[in-house]
């Protein structure tokens, strides 16, 4: 086998590895999307079915605590993986980007966690993830 042939073989293996890595992330995203769609069928709120329904950890309803939307109880491992792979955080570090001004955000009542068309589970209006996309003006 020539050096060129070996180089091409290594390149092919790298591409295959990258393909499987991306497929795993897409699979996790698809799993989240299925949950979103099933929520739509039931006329439920965005954020998924009962297991993936947005819920606050604390605050709201006169509790006086700060709103927290990090409780992933009831989410499937694949859904949690989507949150993690998209680097969801409850508090954005980007002054001009947060969930409330993202086109994918599904708002909830004041003081409650919303949902997201892409990220399963409870979503803070001041949160952020790497799938952020500007809401049309
Ligand atoms: Fe969903 Fe991410 Fe947009 Fe927040 S920033 S609404 S988590 S896509």
- 6-49 pLDDT, tens digit per residue, is 555 545 554 444 444 444 444 444 544 444 443 333 333 344 44
Higher-scoring residue by pLDDT: 88, 1:
88
Atom of ligand 1 lying closest to residue 105 CA: 6
Q: Which of 48, 54, 102, 121 to mutate to test the pocket of ligand 1 (most atoms within 8 A of CB)?
A: 102
Q: Residue 44 has what pLDDT?
A: 35
Higher-scoring residue by pLDDT: 78, 26:
78
- Tell me whether residue 11 is exposed, middle or buried, using C-beta atoms within 10 angstroms of its C-beta: 0 to 12, 13 to 18, 19 or more: exposed
Residues with CB under 6 A from ligand 1: 88, 99, 102, 104-105, 116, 118-119, 123, 127-129, 131-132
pLDDT at 50 over 50: no
Reference 124, options 76, 79, 88, 93; nearest CA is 88
Domain ranges (residues) in the chain: 1-42, 48-137
Answer yes or no: CATH 3.40.50.920 is held by domain 48-137: no
User: Inter-axis angle of helices 3-41 and 77-85, to 10 degrees?
Assistant: 120
- Going by alpha carbons, the residue nearest to atom 1 of ligand 1 is 116
Atom of ligand 1 lying closest to residue 106 CA: 6
- Quote the ligand 1 centre to 22 CA distance (angstroms): 20
pLDDT, average across residues 52-76? 72
- Going by alpha carbons, the residue nearest to atom 3 of ligand 1 is 132
Atom of ligand 1 lying closest to residue 99 CA: 4
CA distance 112 to 13: 47
HEC profile for 22-39? HHHHHHHHHHHHHHHHHH
Reference 55, options 134, 120, 132; nearest CA is 120
The whole-model pTM stands at 0.63
Q: DSSP string spanning the chain? A: --HHHHHHHHHHHHHHHHHHHHHHHHHHHHHHHHHHHHHHHTT--TT-SGGG----SB--TT--SPPB----TT--HHHHHHHHHTT-BSS-S-TT--GGGBTTEE--STTS-BEESSS-S-B-TT-B-TT--BPP-
């Amino acid at each position: 086998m020539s050096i060129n042939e070996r180089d091409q073989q290594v390149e092919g293996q790298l591409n295959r590895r990258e393909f499987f890595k991306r497929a795993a992330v897409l699979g996790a995203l698809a799993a989240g999307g299925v949950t979103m769609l099933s929520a739509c069928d039931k006329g439920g709120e965005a954020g998924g079915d009962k297991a993936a329904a947005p819920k606050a950890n604390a605050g709201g309803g006169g509790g006086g605590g700060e709103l927290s939307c990090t409780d992933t109880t009831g989410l499937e491992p694949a859904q949690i993986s989507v949150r993690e792979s998209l680097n969801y955080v409850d508090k954005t570090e980007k002054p001009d980007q947060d969930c409330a001004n993202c086109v994918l955000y599904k708002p909830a009542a004041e003081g409650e966690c919303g949902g997201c068309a892409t990220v399963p589970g409870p979503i803070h209006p001041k949160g952020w993830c790497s799938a952020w996309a500007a809401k049309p003006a």
